[in-house]
Structure 1
Amino acid sequence: MAPADFPASLPLCVCLLLASGFTQAGRLLVVPMDGSHWFTMQMVLEKLIHNGHEVVLVIPEVSWQLGKSLNCTVKTYSISHTLEDLDREFKYFSYTQWKTPEQSMRSLLTGSAKGFFELLFSHCRSLFKDKKLVEYLEQTSFDAVFLDPFHVCGLTVARYLSLPSVVFARGIFCHYLEEGAQCPSLPSYVPRLLSKYTDTMTFQERVWNHLSYLEESAVCPYFFKTAEEIASEVLQTPVTMTDLFSPVSIWLLRTDFVLEFPRPVMPNMIFVGGINCFHGKPLSKLHYYSVEDFKYYIGWVLKSL
């Protein structure tokens, strides 16, 4: 069953996300995440801006690429850490993944990922400390919040402003997508992330998959503790991650259903394809090689051995 506000927000999302020339332009508040996540969202925003929609981007003053090369209104807020701090945490996270890839969701969430995401979660407290920015957001009539769920602050902003939210992501940590969208994902049939199981599990694998789900359910609140605390401070009421994900109006999933394990999906879950990077550019210069050239190079390689 879709969230109650889904039917009312459907025309809006058709207007904003399909960007038809016959629909009225909307005003979209965007709370993105830095890094590769931004590159994928940027392409969508460029298309929306091109079709006449007004985009307001809310980002921290310190970032890698956020807001660059985008013709829209950008609102920034100060944060307590520097770009060097962000680089250090991400390098540690990426180096650890390269050296010893995580084998389970528990090891990922309690290991190298936590420090990096703690910095990202802290951005939300800095955003709401900026009284002028918050006042601007309150007084501006936005139609929806377009957000990346890994940056949990977008969910908090949407709930604070009582606006429909549109999530744009490949997936999210833990089980909150299933719970938020009220989409069944039974451990007996759907493998958990990083489990390396298939959808044709043996009985023993199903048992271990279920145990992985229980372990994940115990670890996830610890990983998102800071995000939940900040959201509770802002909203002045105790909230959980499930509380933040449940009101989501539209889930735009950057994948295809044929690549996912068989499971039910809800009407507000839309597969938009594998938008993961910039489109490839043509080569600046082409080189043509003859058979004689290849003979020369092969001979040179053989002599070098």
Structure 2
Amino acid sequence: MAPTGFPASLPLCVCLLLASGFAQAGRLLVVPMDGSHWFTMQSVVEKLIHKGHEVVVVVPEVSWQLGKSLNITVKTYSISHTLEDLNREFKVFLDAQMKDQPEGMTLLLSGPSKGFFDLVFSNCRSLFKDKKLVEYLKQSSFDAVFLDPFDVCGLTVAKYLSLPSVVFGRGIFCHYLEEGAQCPSPPSYVPRGLLKLTGNMNFMERVRNHLAYMGERAFCPSLFKTATDIASEVLQTPVTATDLFSQVSIWLLRTDFVLEVPRPLMPNIFFIGGINCHQGKPLSKPFRFATLIDNLVFPLIASASSL
């Protein structure tokens, strides 16, 4: 079964995309995440602008870095918390990780950490309360939404506007990448995050991995409850995190396959290598991530619309 949002003739489309000169300019809505996430996404956005694409970035009016130093259209919306609130919750989150050094995703995201996530998730409610901004987004005829999945809001925006979504991130908390992209990830063979296990697990390690997986299944809906409640309000229908992540058209993962445990992947998942906040030296043959979007996303949308 093809992933949601992809045409049935995906193999033919991908072959056509390999041909030179197939790229076309488009209108891209960017829904980023603050902090180091924005540093990595900003470089791609700048390249897309340089290639002639029209880009609009939607950000909260209170943030660490979002939208700064970009000569593009930036749309802001007011939020209910201050920068001091954001700093305080992030410090609680950071202190919990430094103190406990938990193993496993469930322990990492539980307890005091949830307050930071709820604060970040709440931005999306503020976005959709801005009726003028929402009307602008509806009337702007974007081709796709380029988003960081951390705060989930970009997924809600894409579903609300019925647009293809392009995820740009290091990974996804919990099991929603595997479920959303329909990738088999059996706990007997694929270790869960942060457990320090390899693909060659003994029996007890497999049991431990199963318990961690079961813990994620039980805990993750609670972690994302604020985000899914907001999405349900906006879309006026009950929505789960799986519903939001299953609509992703293209996954651009900022990692490399050599750092991952071997596992089946769907054809809409691309390892694009890591991007660090520190500006590195240029490679002899640099791989341009903006070119990947330029030559893949917009032509794919055009191909899908003509079917």
Amino acid at match of 1:69: S
Instruction: Describe the SS at the equivalent of 2:270.
Output: strand
Aligned residue number for residue 28 of structure 2: 28
Instruction: Describe the SS at the equivalent of 2:56.
Output: strand
Instruction: Describe the SS at the equivalent of 1:7.
Output: coil
Give the gaps of 5 or more residues in structure 2: 283-307
Mapped to 2, the partners of 1:21 and 1:116 lie a distance apart of 45
Equivalence map 1:1-305=2 (5 Å): 1-7=1-7, 23-280=23-280
**Count of paired positions:** 278
Given the two structures, how large is their TM-score scaled by the length of structure 2? 0.86
| RMSD of aligned residue pairs (Cα, Å) | 2.1
Conserved? CA contact 2:104–2:192, under 8 Å: no
Give 1:9 deviation, angstroms.
10
Instruction: Describe the SS at the equivalent of 1:29.
Output: strand
Instruction: Describe the SS at the equivalent of 1:6.
Output: coil
Conserved? CA contact 1:40–1:278, under 8 Å: no
Aligned residue number for residue 290 of structure 2: none
Mapped to 2, the partners of 1:187 and 1:198 lie a distance apart of 12
Give the gaps of 5 or more residues in structure 1: 283-305
Mapped to 1, the partners of 2:134 and 2:43 lie a distance apart of 27
Does the C-alpha gap of structure 1 residues 52 and 21 become closer, same or farther in structure 2, counting only changes over 3 Å? farther
Amino acid at match of 2:44: V
Structure label with greater radius of gyration? 1
Give 1:197 deviation, angstroms.
1.1
Does the C-alpha gap of structure 1 residues 236 and 101 become closer, same or farther in structure 2, counting only changes over 3 Å? same
Give 1:258 deviation, angstroms.
1.3
Given the two structures, how large is their TM-score scaled by the length of structure 1? 0.87
Conserved? CA contact 2:32–2:147, under 8 Å: yes
Mapped to 2, the partners of 1:180 and 1:119 lie a distance apart of 24
Does the C-alpha gap of structure 1 residues 10 and 150 become closer, same or farther in structure 2, counting only changes over 3 Å? farther
Amino acid at match of 1:192: R
Give 1:10 deviation, angstroms.
7.1
Q: Which has the higher contact order (CA 8 A, sep 6+)?
A: 2
Conserved? CA contact 2:96–2:113, under 8 Å: no
Instruction: Describe the SS at the equivalent of 2:7.
Output: helix
Give 1:113 deviation, angstroms.
2.1
Amino acid at match of 1:226: T
Does the C-alpha gap of structure 1 residues 71 and 8 become closer, same or farther in structure 2, counting only changes over 3 Å? farther
Give 1:21 deviation, angstroms.
6.4
Aligned residue number for residue 305 of structure 2: none
CA deviation profile, 1:35-73 (whole Å, cap 9, x unmatched): 000000001001000111011000000000000111211
